[in-house]
C-alpha cells in the first residue's frame, strides 16, 4: 500500500513519467478518484493453456495484473491474481465468453474494499493477448551490414529502435514511434504487400496510439501471464491429481501469500530463521548491490585524485545487471552502461571500477561521445533515395541520432564518478569501422 500511494503522489506531482498510469487512457481512472477512495486499474487475461501428459484437456485461467504498483512488482508471479479457471477438451464458445466475461466485470467492479481508512475500487482497464517482438541483435547488425538493401536496413533499424525503447525506457525524441512505424510500413508495402500480415499491420499501424493510451506496452504483455501459468501448474499432473482444478488454484493462492510474506520479512530486519531460509531461496531476497575483485592499481591514463580515498573493485552487481571491468577480464563485454548525468543527459559510459568507502558505493567510468557524422554507412545510402523514400529515411536517421538508447561513438579521456542510482541500463556494442555502436539493452522492468 505504501508503494502504491507513493506512485500516486509522484503521478500527481509530475515526478513519475514512465509508469503505465501516465498513459492517456489509464490516467483517466486515477485522475477521477476522490480523496477517500482509490480507483485501481487491472489488466485481465483469459488465455488457453495446454496441460502436460497424455490428456486432451486444456484450461483457461482468468488472471489479473494490478497496474498501480511499481512496474517490477506488478509483473511478479506472486503479485498476479487468479480470478477463476475453466477446464475442458474444446475451446470455449462465444456463448461461454458472453456469459463469463460479464460475470467477471460484475465481480471485480461491483464492490468497494476498505483497508483501514482507505477505500479501494477495482476496474478492468483492458484485456490483453499475444503481440510480436523484434530481436535487438538483428537490428544492430543491419546498421553495419552494407550487403543488405538500404530499404531493408531502414526497416530493420526502425523495428529494432521501437523494440529497444520498450525494453529500456531510454529518452526518445518527439514522434518517435509514429515516424519509425510509418517508415517501416511504407518500405514493407512497397517491397511486397505480403509483408503486411495481420500482426505486422497491428504493430505498424496501431502501436503509436496504443503506447499513448497505455504507456510502455511491454510491461503489460503476456510475458507475465505466461510465466504465471507455469508457476500455477508446476509440479501438477492432471492425470494423477484428484480435483486438479481446485487443487491448482488453492495451492497457488497459498504459495503466493507465503512468497509475499517472506519478501516482506526479508526487507524488514529478518530473523535468523528467515535468513537461513533465504539462503536456500535467493530469488525471494531483496536485491542488494555487491562488489568483488579488488583492483590494486589503475593504469596511468585512468588514475585520478578524486578516487584515491576509495577502495576499487572490478566487478559490480546491480539490480539491472553485472558490470565487469577490463581490469578483471581483458576481453570483457560487460563494461558498458547508460546513465543519467547531473545536467539531465542520458549518456553512455565504459565501466572502470566500483569505488567503495564504508557503505558508500560509486562508479568510476569513462565517457563515450558520438562521432560526427554518426551511422555514416546507412546515412549515405538513405540520402541517395528518391522522394518520398528519402523523407522516410530521413525520419529514421533523425531518430537514430536523437534517441538516447543508442550511440555511434568512441571512448574519450573524460572520466566521471557516478552514483549507482544514476545507472539506467547496461549496454552492448558492435564495432563499426573506426567507431563503435553502443546500445542500451535493458532499463525498463519487463518480465520475459
- 405: left (phi > 0), else alpha (psi -120 to 50), else beta? alpha
Is 408 in contact with 437 (CB distance < 8 Å)? yes
Among candidate residues 109, 127, 145, the one where a domain is terminated? 127
**pLDDT for residue 131 is more than 50:** no
Structural domain for 153, as ranges: 136-218
Among candidate residues 70, 104, 127, the one where a domain is terminated? 127
Express each pLDDT in 176-221 by its tens digit. 999 999 999 999 999 998 988 888 888 899 999 999 999 998 888 7
Does the residue 382 lie in any domain?
Answer: no
Express each pLDDT in 341-358 by its tens digit. 988 899 999 999 999 999
The closest alpha carbon to 84, from 276, 306, 253, belongs to 253
Q: Where do the H-state alpha helices sit in 307-434?
A: 376-383, 389-402
Q: Are residues 123 and 26 in the same domain?
A: yes
Q: Are residues 119 and 144 in the same domain?
A: no
Does the residue 141 lie in any domain?
Answer: yes
Does the residue 157 lie in any domain?
Answer: yes
pTM, entire model: 0.82
**pLDDT for residue 440 is more than 90:** yes
Confidence band of 146 (pLDDT split at 50, 70, 90): confident
Does the residue 360 lie in any domain?
Answer: yes
Q: Are residues 123 and 6 in the same domain?
A: yes
Written as nine digits, the cell of 381 is: 545510402
Q: Are residues 356 and 432 in the same domain?
A: yes
Express each pLDDT in 16-63 by its tens digit. 988 999 999 999 999 999 878 999 999 998 777 766 665 667 778 888
- Across residues 244-261, what is the average pLDDT? 76
Q: Which residues of 142-157 are buried (b: 16+ CB within 10 A; e: fewer)?
A: bbbeeebebbebbbbb
413 CB neighbour count, 10 Å cutoff: 8
**Bigger pLDDT: 284 or 275?**
275
Express each pLDDT in 292-310 by its tens digit. 999 999 999 999 999 999 9
Q: What is the pLDDT of residue 278?
A: 84
Domain count across the chain: 3
Amino acid at each position: 500500500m505504501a508503494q502504491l500511494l507513493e506512485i500516486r503522489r509522484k503521478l500527481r506531482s509530475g515526478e513519475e513519467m514512465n509508469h503505465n498510469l501516465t498513459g492517456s487512457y489509464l490516467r483517466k481512472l486515477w485522475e477521477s478518484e476522490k480523496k477517500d477512495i482509490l480507483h485501481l486499474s487491472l489488466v485481465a487475461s483469459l488465455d488457453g493453456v495446454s496441460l502436460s501428459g497424455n490428456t486432451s484437456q486444456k484450461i483457461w485461467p482468468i488472471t489479473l495484473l494490478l497496474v498501480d504498483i511499481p512496474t517490477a512488482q506488478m509483473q511478479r508471479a506472486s503479485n498476479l491474481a487468479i480470478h477463476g479457471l475453466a477446464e475442458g477438451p474444446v475451446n470455449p464458445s462465444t456463448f461461454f465468453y458472453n456469459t463469463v466475461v460479464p460475470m467477471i466485470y460484475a465481480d471485480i467492479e461491483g464492490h468497494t474494499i476498505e483497508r483501514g481508512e482507505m477505500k479501494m475500487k477495482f476496474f478492468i482497464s483492458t484485456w490483453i493477448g499475444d503481440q510480436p517482438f523484434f530481436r535487438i541483435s538483428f537490428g544492430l547488425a543491419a546498421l553495419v551490414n552494407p550487403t543488405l538493401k538500404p530499404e531493408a536496413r531502414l526497416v530493420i533499424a526502425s523495428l529494432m529502435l521501437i523494440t529497444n525503447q520498450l525494453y529500456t525506457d531510454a529518452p526518445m525524441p518527439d514522434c518517435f514511434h509514429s515516424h519509425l512505424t510509418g517508415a517501416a510500413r511504407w518500405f514493407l508495402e512497397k517491397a511486397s504487400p505480403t509483408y503486411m500480415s495481420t500482426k505486422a499491420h497491428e504493430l505498424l499501424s496501431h502501436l503509436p496510439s496504443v503506447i499513448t493510451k497505455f504507456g510502455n506496452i511491454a510491461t503489460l504483455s503476456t510475458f507475465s501471464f505466461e510465466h504465471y501459468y507455469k508457476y500455477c501448474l508446476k509440479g501438477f499432473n492432471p492425470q494423477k491429481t484428484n480435483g486438479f482444478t481446485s487443487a491448482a488454484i488453492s495451492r497457488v493462492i497459498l504459495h503466493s501469500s507465503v512468497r509475499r510474506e517472506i519478501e516482506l520479512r526479508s526487507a524488514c530486519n529478518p530473523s535468523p530463521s528467515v535468513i537461513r531460509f533465504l539462503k536456500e531461496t535467493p530469488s525471494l531476497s531483496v536485491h542488494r548491490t555487491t562488489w568483488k575483485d579488488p583492483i590494486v592499481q589503475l593504469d596511468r591514463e585512468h588514475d585520478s585524485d578524486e578516487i584515491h580515498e576509495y577502495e576499487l573493485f572490478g566487478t559490480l552487481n546491480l539490480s539491472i545487471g553485472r558490470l565487469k571491468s577490463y581490469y578483471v577480464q581483458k576481453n570483457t563485454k560487460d563494461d558498458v552502461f547508460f546513465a543519467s548525468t547531473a545536467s539531465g543527459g542520458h549518456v553512455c559510459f565504459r565501466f572502470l571500477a566500483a569505488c567503495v568507502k564504508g557503505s558508500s558505493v560509486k562508479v568510476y567510468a569513462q565517457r563515450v561521445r558520438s562521432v560526427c557524422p554518426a551511422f555514416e554507412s546507412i546515412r549515405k545510402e538513405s540520402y541517395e533515395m528518391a522522394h518520398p523514400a528519402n523523407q522516410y529515411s530521413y525520419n529514421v536517421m533523425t531518430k537514430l541520432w536523437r534517441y538516447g538508447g543508442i550511440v555511434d561513438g568512441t571512448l574519450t579521456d573524460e572520466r566521471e564518478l557516478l552514483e549507482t542510482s544514476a545507472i539506467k541500463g547496461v549496454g552492448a556494442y558492435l564495432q563499426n569501422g573506426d567507431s563503435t555502436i553502443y546500445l542500451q539493452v535493458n532499463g525498463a522492468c519487463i518480465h520475459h
